[in-house]
Structure 1
């Protein structure tokens, strides 16, 4: 049995990871300040995990926890995961999205903590609108916002701490993750969670741009399986795209979802937002190279998402 720390562990992806690790009979410790996550996301496993309501920016707390618990695996998901928020509050989001990550890595190095893997979760936002297409892990980087800059800097720190100090590290770049437990009540949440809420509550959906912007949507169950495989079955300090490897225009995704729900979405169109990316698709050859294959099609994932949201 392994012991795992999940920062941001009651958030959307973190809570799915916590559930999967509990099923695998791992000991799970979660640190989350509840700024974006919700305790109800782990309500059914709350007796099987240790939860701390705390910010990862509290260095003394994090240092004491790392010394006391002696983790095998650290999944660093804590983040202000909003591009728009980082434009409004660049310094605050920087403290969470970069400073806390480097501080944790440095404490592991300085104290020679014997971890099996430190996994940092980065974002496809680091690619920006660079011309390379589809995006490979070696594509040009063009971070357009403080969020993307911090994510890229933190993943480089993660990989370089691995290479320079022989700490087992790895980083992943999430593309458009969707699924149950995404918080639709934040204007910064994933577009499909907002579409879902609008469909369910018969509210208008604001579409920024003409809907031709493409995204590589990946279902959260596939993401969690990839995280566990990467953390337990790879050795090199490197970065992996986590995506389906497909490119779908947003308007097509919306129409597919309308058909699944049997509801027509009321769309209000506005100008594209500053910093938004036009085309996004991952090359997932590297992920497939370690034996990982996504199991969820977009249609199946949306069907499951709508079923969950309709029943909850």
Structure 2
């Protein structure tokens, strides 16, 4: 079941990856395309055609469109649903669009997963927790999202849970914490790392919002991919956090990046972001015990490969 790079392997399956031209989706495609028939459904609004390997089939279409979904899901064994509107800021300005893309389209996919008896792996987000009461955050912590994006992910999760319980769908919900890694560019998943790396390597001031004591659990995209693949090898269904179980303050992050980049950049403090989450750290014990997951890329190692 394991392959040469420590990733669990899967072979000879028909696999659909929505959003497979994007940052996380394309990394999942890479891990599976050698031994499976992989198709990608992506409208290329934020993903790029060049992210999709030639061996995969790219269906350029929209997850809200019934014809595109029918084509993409026909005879499929597994669906990794990664496509979403992920910008918190954009969701604030376009809540209905966010709902259409993140909730309605997920519901359409769930119905098709059920019709095809496909295993369904849904990419959710730590945004469902909102401002946590305490850390580390376990899966049964209160959910109190603070943006239409967070609300949409929670609503979609509820539909996945409903399909698990009432329609016997074989499904897993993965709540990603702050994902980073190569190919991320200006992705919203963990934009701060991209910004700091850019500032440190160009010699500009590194701008820390607020006092920098806010903490985040940064998880490397390779560990996210591993969690997705492990989700296919487990009988478990339901909700799982995906993070490292460790957190770092934004100020420490800036200092670490400056050090790794051998940068002379000065760290400066700018206005805090309104309603910024204070503390965030995943409790990953459920993921460990059910999937045998443990994070393999330390923050220092992950940052070094980026820089």
Partner in structure 1 of residue 85 of structure 2: 80
Structure 1 unmatched ranges of 5 or more: 307-312
Partner in structure 1 of residue 59 of structure 2: 52
Q: In 2, Cα distance between the equivalents of 1:273 and 1:10? A: 30
The answer to whether 1:18 aligns with 2:21 is no
Q: 1:302 to 1:93 in 2, by over 3 A?
A: same
Cα-Cα RMSD? 1.7
**8 Å Cα contact 1:177/1:217 also seen in 2:** yes
Q: 1:187 to 1:175 in 2, by over 3 A?
A: closer
**8 Å Cα contact 1:122/1:173 also seen in 2:** yes
Alignment of 1:121-140 (within 5 A): 121-140=123-142
Alignment of 1:81-230 (within 5 A): 81-109=86-114, 112-115=115-118, 117-184=119-186, 190-230=191-231
Instruction: Report how many aligned residue pairs link the two structures.
Output: 295
Partner in structure 2 of residue 251 of structure 1: 251
Displacement, 1:167?
1.1
Q: In 1, Cα distance between the equivalents of 2:189 and 2:294? A: 29
**8 Å Cα contact 2:41/2:72 also seen in 1:** no
**8 Å Cα contact 2:210/2:272 also seen in 1:** yes
Three-state SS of the structure 2 residue aligned to 1:121 is strand
Mean Cα displacement is larger for which, 138-147 or 274-283? 274-283
What per-residue deviation string (whole Å, max 9, x for no partner) do you get for residues 55-89 of structure 1? 2111222123323xx11110000011111111121
Partner in structure 2 of residue 279 of structure 1: 279
What per-residue deviation string (whole Å, max 9, x for no partner) do you get for residues 187-226 of structure 1? 7862112222223334444432221110001111111011
Displacement, 1:143?
0.5
The answer to whether 1:41 aligns with 2:51 is yes
**8 Å Cα contact 2:213/2:251 also seen in 1:** yes
Displacement, 1:90?
1.1
What per-residue deviation string (whole Å, max 9, x for no partner) do you get for residues 105-132 of structure 1? 12334xx2121x1011000011111313
Q: 1:295 to 1:187 in 2, by over 3 A?
A: closer
Q: 1:10 to 1:169 in 2, by over 3 A?
A: same
Structure 2 unmatched ranges of 5 or more: 1-11
Three-state SS of the structure 1 residue aligned to 2:228 is helix
**8 Å Cα contact 1:145/1:275 also seen in 2:** no
Q: In 2, Cα distance between the equivalents of 1:266 and 1:92? A: 40
Displacement, 1:37?
1.4
**8 Å Cα contact 1:83/1:188 also seen in 2:** no
**8 Å Cα contact 1:163/1:237 also seen in 2:** no
**8 Å Cα contact 2:244/2:295 also seen in 1:** yes
**8 Å Cα contact 2:258/2:264 also seen in 1:** yes
Q: In 2, Cα distance between the equivalents of 1:161 and 1:265? A: 51
Partner in structure 2 of residue 297 of structure 1: 298
